[in-house]
Amino acid sequence: MNKRIYIGLLCLTVVIALPFGTDAFLGRSWVRLLDFALLYTMLALGLNIVVGYAGLLDLGYVAFYAVGAYLYAMLASPHIGMHWPLWALLPMGALLAASFGAVLGAPTLGLRGDYLAIVTMGFGEIIRIFLRNLNITNGPAGIDLIDPIQIGNFSFGSSHSLLGWDLPSIYNYYFLFIVLTAFIVLVSYRLSDSRIGRAWAAIREDEIAAKSMGLNTRYLKLMAFAMGAAFGGISGVLFAGFQGFISPESFTMGESVMILCMVVLGGMGHLSGVIMGAILLAILPEAFRPLSQFQQITFGHVWLDPANLRMLMFALALIVVMILRPEGLWPSPVRRRELHQNDAMPASVQKEGP
């Protein structure tokens, strides 16, 4: 018990000190990157409910992020002239996205695997194309001048001084995102360790057996879609307030794939793994940025465009990890067993040998 308290305190200290340390050693742009990493973490945790817990492949997850973001952008900006507060828009974003999740889920419940992936991918694209073409969302230009997030009189968009330190807005957002990420982690953990969480795992393991044991698989899958979507909606609301500007191009299929990569790379169904995957993939492309300077210095010329090179390295890293560790970098024990189902038998036989 005592040990857990120490570990908790240690984590808390690291989390609080992180932006200051990052700012001091790597520069302010990295603190902004941390903020984005936290947004991605929330998204990955949401998608983890659908993919990791219930075992449903969703390639259109970014649509729920868009729903949350556009809700905030439209109701808290000069666009329509409404300036609703966060405490109203955050739950609304979660609920609206959850309803979209249920609407998407309903017709796809009979589908599995590849088919489900294709339909969800289509759904994601439909949402984006709607956003591009509707007048009320201001088409491809998107919405700007979005209100910064404000709670009471505290505006997250401006700097505040604390004990003589002048903390810019990225710090405010960092701490807000940390609190919400912790909330999502708690909710995910409690769900996985519950009657519903076990039912999701059962569906993932064997849907026919699950049905025969009386599980209402349609309802349970819908709940997974809705719950995952709600987290996407929350992240979207935060994103719009944080960035101050959104357009349909923030919500492409590439984003969906990226979020899925975070879940898979980290370790589907395992909270620590998914968090690690999200932070790693959010930061990795940035970490490859110095490669262009390296080229400039070594060859006196940039041979490979840094943006392309970054994506190339990124893809390479993903492929290597997936070959060496198909269960992800930090999988849950159950997932590891699932993915090593076939080689488990010979291993145990070998162990029993002389």
- Least separation in angstroms between residue 110's CB and other proteins is 12
Distances (CA, A) of 60 to 7, 33, 122, 148, 225: 37, 24, 7, 27, 11
- Least separation in angstroms between residue 74's CB and other proteins is 28
Lookup: tokens for 172: 């405010």
Q: Exposed, middle or buried: residue 206 (CB in 10 Å: 0-12, 13-18, 19+)?
A: exposed
- Least separation in angstroms between residue 350's CB and other proteins is 15
- Least separation in angstroms between residue 197's CB and other proteins is 7
- 223 vs 263, beta carbon nearer other proteins: 223
- 220 vs 274, beta carbon nearer other proteins: 220
- Least separation in angstroms between residue 244's CB and other proteins is 31
**CA-based Rg of the chain, rounded to a whole angstrom?**
22
Lookup: tokens for 158: 């401006």
- 201 vs 246, beta carbon nearer other proteins: 201
Q: Exposed, middle or buried: residue 192 (CB in 10 Å: 0-12, 13-18, 19+)?
A: buried
Tell me which residues touch other proteins (CB under 8 A). 187, 190-191, 194-199, 201-202, 205-206, 208-217, 223, 227, 334, 337-338, 341, 344, 348
- Least separation in angstroms between residue 99's CB and other proteins is 15
User: Residue 27: which region, alpha, beta or left (left: phi > 0; alpha: psi -120 to 50)?
Assistant: left
In 111-164, beta strands by DSSP E:
150-151, 154-155, 160-162
- Helical H runs in 244-270? 253-266
Transcribe 52-94 into DSSP letters: IIS----S-THHHHHHHHHHHHHHEETTTTEE--HHHHHHHHH
Q: Distance between the two ends of the chain, CA-based, in angstroms? A: 41
What DSSP character marks residue 193?
T
- 199 vs 282, beta carbon nearer other proteins: 199
Q: Which of 43, 34, 42, 40 is nearest to 15 (CA)?
A: 34
- 72 vs 200, beta carbon nearer other proteins: 200
- 212 vs 298, beta carbon nearer other proteins: 212
- Least separation in angstroms between residue 241's CB and other proteins is 24
- 304 vs 347, beta carbon nearer other proteins: 347
